Amino acid sequence: MKKLFITCIMGLTLLVPFFSPVSAGELGNQLAKESVVEKIQRDKVIRVGMSTFVPWAMKDKHGKLVGFEIDVARQLAKDMGVEVEFVPTAWSGIIPALMTGKFDVIIGGMGITPERNLKVNFTMPYDYSGMSMVAHRKKAEGFSTLDDFNNKDVNIAVRMGTTAEQAARKFFPHANLRLFENESQALQELNLGRVHAVVSSAPMPVFHALKYPDKLFVPLKENFTKEPIGFAIRKGDPDALNYFNNWIVNMHASGFLKEKKAYWFESTEWEDLVK
Amino acid sequence: MRHRQHMIAAGVFFLVLVLVGIAGYRNLSYNWQWYRVAQYFFFFEQGRFVPGVLLQGVWVTLKISGISLVLSLIIGLVSAFARLSPYVSLRGLAWCYVETIRNTPLLIQIFVIYFVISPVLDLSAFSSAVIALSLFEGAYSSEIIRSGIVNIPRGQWEAAQSIGLPVSVIYLKVIIPQMLRQTLPMLAGQSVSLIKDSALVSTISIYDLTMQGQKIVSETFLTFEIWFVVALCYLSITATLSFIIRQIENRIRFVH
Amino acid sequence: MSSKPAIRLTLVDLAVLLAAAAGVVLFFVRMTQVLEYQWEWQAIPGYFMFRDPETGRFSANMLLKGFGVTLKLSIWSMVLGFILGTFSGIMGAKGGFFGRMVSRFYVETIRNIPSLVLVILFYYFVSSQFLDALGLDQWVRRLPDPAARGVSFFLAGAGQINAFVSAACALAIYEGAYISEIVRGGINGVSKGQWEAAWSMGLSQAQTFRLVVLPQAFRRTAFPLAGQFISTIKDSAIVSVISVQELTFQGLELMAATFLTFEIWITITLLYFLLTFSLSRTISFFEKRLAIRQ
């Protein structure tokens, strides 16, 4: 009986830290100590949340991660003098995963949107992207404007939780959206001719159309949105925001970002790495 | 004394569980917005009841599970008789079917049927989902039904044959009714599994309860509210079903 | 109803087999014609193993690695689920009123929620409260090299360990509910006479349980538990949704890069099938042998 009570009390004391209030006095000091930048240096590792987006981040034929985002994150880790660790995460759950501390920062081609910004903080943009579209030659024959696709008989496949989903909702409110957890499944639907088009961040749709020229085509020559891409971090961390912002400024200045962008987005040299 | 000790232990257990829950709830740097959840169930537009997306999802889940249940029973019955048939080819085919299904994950079966088989046969996502689920549950029903038939005493056969009944009548009037009475509780249990397993069809973009939940989460980031509510929805559907099944079982037992 | 008809091919058999074969052939012909699908089977072996161009040694590629993770994950969740399920099962069979209630509450809740929803809830809510507070990944990172390699061999590397452990725990909680019922049934299946006989010999309640009931219950539950392990392997495919790098996840990743959809899905199905089928055959072999001996 006595033993039981001791166990109970011990169990309850374990819960005390959860309820203890934060002292307001040394708030600034404490913020600096609790910053992600501080934690990264203490652990000697930066944990980066990402998900497969060709060619932003993907596995090469030996299972190693490659891509634009991967290069950016590797460079960031090198400049901080720490190791980099990639945490692949389902895209539809990547923001909750950041909020619950599964990793330190999202470097995954994440578009800066007001909705997301209510939940997480974004750095300044290190890249700009836009929505583009690839369509099935037979199914979407003669389609050449956005309005052609905004029809209740049109099926459009997108990846769940992406800005492509939002753009598709906004530009094609009458079309049927088919949502998939992975981009490859959406593209598979298109290749099989079960949807009219796939909406996704440039340059992937163009690359995909180039791969299957007799089946697919790019109906719109221009991207129909333009969106800034930033790192996402948890709220309430001014130090990390400042650090990452200035790192991005530096990388813009040194031409690193431009060079990487040219390699991954404007050429297809990297395709030999993958297949 | 022993009883009181148990009571205290269990009381403490629940207390700790609740405290941990509350601690988790408060400690998480998460902004709970339960007030945003209700509109996904239903709302009123100009005084008219409009079902929200979650309720629509519940309907799709029930529809898929219902159709698949009927189909899976038919498939199960046919393949059980095929496995007991005198033809080696039928036995072999039914065996292949049951073993393939029972030895691969349902998720993989759904993907294979949707991405490999259905484009060739030109099936829609909904029918792919129904086929995948009914083939999956059918394999398990088949085993239940088969054991139900095998367990019917030989004497029943012999008695039926000795009074000169043709084989078809023996099956319809003697074997199947007895088999059903024996296996009904287990087959009813399968229907609960079916509702749970139907959550996996969300991966091929069927707008069932899970998919609607996922969609809301990816739009509004109400992660925990929605997932708790979705779990609760499944819990109440399956619990209600289990309750009804138990009532029917009790009644059947009472009659015999 | 004959118990075991002799194997004899009749005309009906031939017709059925021919029809089945024709169906399969027609399917593949249609597949190649309608979809204009280019088969590239020669690419698949490279995704199991490849020769590292730098060191010249063979190393495991994505599919083999994923297969390993599936195995590790199933074994860990089975071990944890066994502990949890045994505990809950004993409580459900022999505990007091509240013990039974706790056990029932656990079993009924878990068995009425889809595993997919459970895994997602556990990953985002429970694991962020407890696993991350434990700081497992930091602990792994601080380990000296041989120990760290051991951990990454038996569990997962530092980058994956949080997701791996929460997946293993979620699966363990899920399977534990089923194991609990198996164990409870096993204990309840031991007849009352056994208890009475043991008491009359002067054994205490705990001794009776440990020496008389548990060994018998274990014999009753061994095969259902082995069957549950096979279910665990199959259920583990679900954790691909929280990006644990097991077989299904690796297949999805591979498809994103190569678009070899059909080859990859067929390969992965075969891998699961070979694993679980060989296990289930082994189990039923031992089951039959034991049945003969008894």
- Measured between beta carbons, the chain B residues lying within 8 angstroms of C35 are 119-120
* Nearest residue in C to B20, CA atom: C129
Contacts of B16 in chain A (CB under 8 A): 8, 11-12
The Cα of C55 is separated from the nearest Cα of chain B by a number of Å equal to 35
Q: Between residues C2 and C194, which one has the greater pLDDT?
A: C194
Q: Which long-range contacts (CB under 8 A, 24 or more apart) does B183-187 make?
A: B183/B144, B183/B145, B183/B147, B183/B148, B184/B249, B184/B252, B185/B245, B185/B249, B186/B144, B187/B73, B187/B141, B187/B144, B187/B145
Closest CA to B238 of C78, C170, C117: C117
B56, A119, A114: which is closest to A106 by C-alpha? A119
Give the residue on A whose Cα is nearest the Cα of B125. A194
Say if the Cβ atoms of C238 and B105 lie within 8 Å: yes
Give the bridge partners for A66, in sequence order.
Answer: A58
Query: 3-class DSSP state for residue A81?
Result: coil
In chain B, what residues touch C116 (CB-CB under 8 Å)?
A: 199-200, 202, 210
Find the residue in A nearest to C66 (Cα): A63
Q: What radius of gyration do chain A's Cα atoms show? A: 22
Taking a C-beta distance cutoff of 8 angstroms, is the pair A158, B219 a contact?
Answer: no
Which among B1, A139, B193, A137 has a CA at the least distance from the CA of C177?
A: B193
Q: Which strand (E) or helix (H) includes residue B68? A: helix B53-83
Q: Which among C31, C111, C269 has the least Cβ separation from residue B108?
A: C269
Tokens of A140: 């979407």
Q: Is the pLDDT of residue C1 over 50?
A: no
Angstroms from B48 CA to nearest CA on chain C: 32
Look at C257 and A59 and tell me if their CB atoms are within 8 Å: yes
Q: Of C160, C165, C82, nearest to C123 (Cα)?
A: C165
Chain A residue numbers with beta carbons less than 8 Å from the beta carbon of B204 are 180, 185
As a whole number of angstroms, the distance between CA A228 and CA A137 comes to 31
Tokens representing residue A144 in the block? 């050449």
Which residue of A102, A103, A136 to mutate against C (max C Cβ within 10 Å)? A102
CA distance C245 to A86: 12
What is the share, in percent, of chain B residues with pLDDT greater than 90? 41
Query: Which structure tokens are listed for C130?
Result: 């407890």
d(CA A233, CA A117): 10
Q: Is the peptide bond before B119 cis (omega within 30 degrees of 0)?
A: no
Prior bond to A55 cis, omega within 30?
Answer: yes
What per-residue confidence (pLDDT) applies to B44? Answer: 85
Top mean pLDDT of A18-27, A107-116, C161-170 is at A107-116
Asked whether A55 and B63 are in contact (CB, 8 A), the reply is: no
Q: Which contiguous run of DSSP H or E holds residue B76?
A: helix B53-83
User: Hey, is the C-beta of A38 within 8 angstroms of any chain C C-beta?
Assistant: no
pLDDT digits (tens, 9 = 90+) for B68-98: 999 999 999 999 999 988 888 999 999 999 9
Nearest to B215 by CA among B53, B61, B31: B53
* Nearest Cα residue to B17 out of A250, C219, C126, A109: C126
Burial C207-224 (b: 16+ CB within 10 A, else e): ebbeebbbeebeebbbbb
How much of chain C, in percent, has pLDDT values that exceed 70?
95
Q: Are C112 and B242 within 8 A, CB to CB?
A: yes
List the beta strands (DSSP E) in chain C. Answer: 49-51, 58-60
Instruction: Give every CB contact of residue B42 below 8 A, 6+ residues apart in sequence.
Output: B49, B50, B51, B52, B55
Nearest CA in chain A to B212: A179
List CB contacts (< 8 A) between A87 and chain C. 159-160, 163, 243
pLDDT for A22 equals 53
The shortest C-alpha distance from B45 to chain C (Å) reads 31
Q: Dump pLDDT digits (tens) for A79-109.
A: 999 999 998 888 888 888 888 788 999 999 9
The proportion of chain C whose per-residue pLDDT surpasses 90, expressed as a percent, equals 34
First to last CA, chain C: 27
Q: What is the rounded CA–CA span in Å between residue B83 and residue B146?
A: 8
Q: Across the interface, do B111 and C108 touch by the CB < 8 Å criterion?
A: no
| Nearest Cβ partner for B157 among C1, C99, C117 | C1
| A38–chain C nearest CA distance, Å | 14
Instruction: Give the Cα separation of A76 and B249 in Å (integer).
Output: 65
Q: What angle do CA B9, B11, B12 make, to 5 degrees?
A: 65
- Chain C nearest C-alpha distance from B104 (Å): 5
Residue A144 touches partner B, C-beta closer than 8 Å: no
Q: Coil, strand, or helix at residue B146? A: helix
Confidence of residue C292 (pLDDT cuts 50, 70, 90): confident
**Is the Cβ pair C259, A184 closer than 8 Å?**
yes
A85 SS3 class: strand
Assess C128–A contact: CB distance below 8 Å, yes or no.
yes
Min CA distance, B139 vs chain A (Å)? 27
Determine the residue among A6, A15, A139 to mutate to test chain B binding: the one whose Cβ has the most chain B Cβ atoms within 10 Å: A15
Read off the pLDDT band of A263 (50, 70, 90). Answer: very high
Q: Indicate if the pLDDT at residue A135 is higher than 60.
A: yes
* CA atoms C128, C241, A162, A231: torsion sign: positive
**pLDDT tens string B1-32:** 455 666 676 677 677 777 777 776 666 666 77
| Chain B, nearest residue to C230 by Cα | B103
pLDDT confidence of residue B145: 92
pLDDT, tens digit, 9 for 90 and up, residues A225-254: 999 999 999 988 999 999 999 999 999 999
DSSP string, C55-120: T--EEE-HHHHHHHHHHHHHHHHHHHHHHHHHHHHHHHHHS-HHHHHHHHHHHHHHHTS-HHHHHH
Query: CB B200 to CB C238 under 8 A?
Result: yes
Helix (H, G, I), strand (E, B) or coil at A255: coil
Q: How confident is the model at residue C39 (pLDDT cuts 50, 70, 90)?
A: confident
Q: Spell out the alpha helix ranges (H) of B84-124.
A: 88-102, 106-112, 118-121
Q: What stretches in chain B show pLDDT beneath 70? A: 1-7, 9-10, 13, 24-30, 253-256
**Spatial separation of the C-alpha atoms in residues C127 and C130, rounded to whole Å:** 5
Angle, nearest 10°, between helix axes A68-80 and A238-254? 110
Residue in chain A lying closest to C52 (CA): A62
**pLDDT, mean of residues C1-27:** 79
Residues of C within 8 A of B10 (CB-CB) are: 96, 98-99, 101-102
Q: Give the nearest partner residue to B235 out of C102, C112, C269, using CB atoms.
A: C112
For C256, the closest of A86, A102, A183 (CB atoms) is: A183
- Cβ–Cβ contact B84 with C under 8 A: yes
Contact at CB, B227 and C31, closer than 8 angstroms: no
Instruction: Look at residue B28 in the predicted model and tell me its pLDDT.
Output: 61
Q: How many CB atoms lie within 10 A of CB C194?
A: 13
Give the closest of C61, C160, C258 to A275, CB-based. C258
Q: Would you state the pLDDT for residue B165?
A: 86
CB contact under 8 A, A15 and B23: yes
Residue pair B108/C268 in contact by the 8 Å Cβ criterion: yes
More confident residue, A221 or C67: C67
How far is residue A150's CA from residue A148's CA, in Å, rounded to a whole number?
Answer: 6
- Six-digit token pair at A2? 């006595």
Q: Are B8 and A4 in contact (CB under 8 A)?
A: yes
- What value does the CA radius of gyration of chain C take, rounded to a whole number of Å? 24
Tell me, what's the pLDDT at A10? 57
C141 near A CB under 8 A: yes
Average pLDDT in chain C: 86
- What is the dihedral sign for C-alpha C234, C240, C245, C249? positive
The residue whose two tokens read 């492509």 is A164
Given this model, what pLDDT does residue C2 score? Answer: 45
- Whole-angstrom CA distances from B24 to C12, C124, C129, C165 are 65, 12, 6, 19
Residue in C closest to B5 by C-alpha = C96
- Chain B residues touching A93 at Cβ < 8 A: 217, 223
Of A128, A154, A126, A161, which is closest to residue A140 (Cα–Cα)? A154
Q: What CA–CA distance (Å, rounded) separates A132 from A60? A: 24
What is the spatial distance between Cα B253 and Cα C165, in angstroms, rounded to a whole number? Answer: 45
Instruction: Provide DSSP, B5-43.
Output: HHHHHHHHHHHHHHHHHHHHHHHSS----GGGTGGGTEE
Q: How many Cβ contacts (< 8 angstroms) between chains A and C?
A: 91
Distant-in-sequence contacts of A11-17, Cβ < 8 A, 24+ apart: A11/B12, A11/B16, A12/B16, A12/B19, A15/B19, A15/B20, A15/B23
Q: Mind listing the pLDDT tens digit for each residue in A167-226? A: 999 999 999 999 998 888 899 889 888 899 999 998 889 989 988 888 899 998 888 899
Which one is predicted more confidently, C1 or B161?
B161
Model confidence pLDDT, tens digit, residues C69-100:
999 999 999 999 999 999 999 998 887 788 88
Distance from CA of A253 to the nearest CA of B (A): 35
What integer pLDDT is reported at residue B174 of this predicted model?
85
DSSP annotation of B84 reads T
Q: Which residues of B fall within a CB distance of 8 Å from A157? A: 205
With CA atoms as reference, report the closest residue to C189 among C216, C163, C215. C216
Whole-number Å distance between alpha carbons of C285 and C219: 16
Identify which of C125, C242, C256 has the shortest CB distance to residue A52: C256
Chain C environment of A85 (Cβ under 8 Å): 158-159
Q: Is the pLDDT higher at C57 or at C187?
A: C187
> Higher pLDDT residue, C104 or B8?
C104
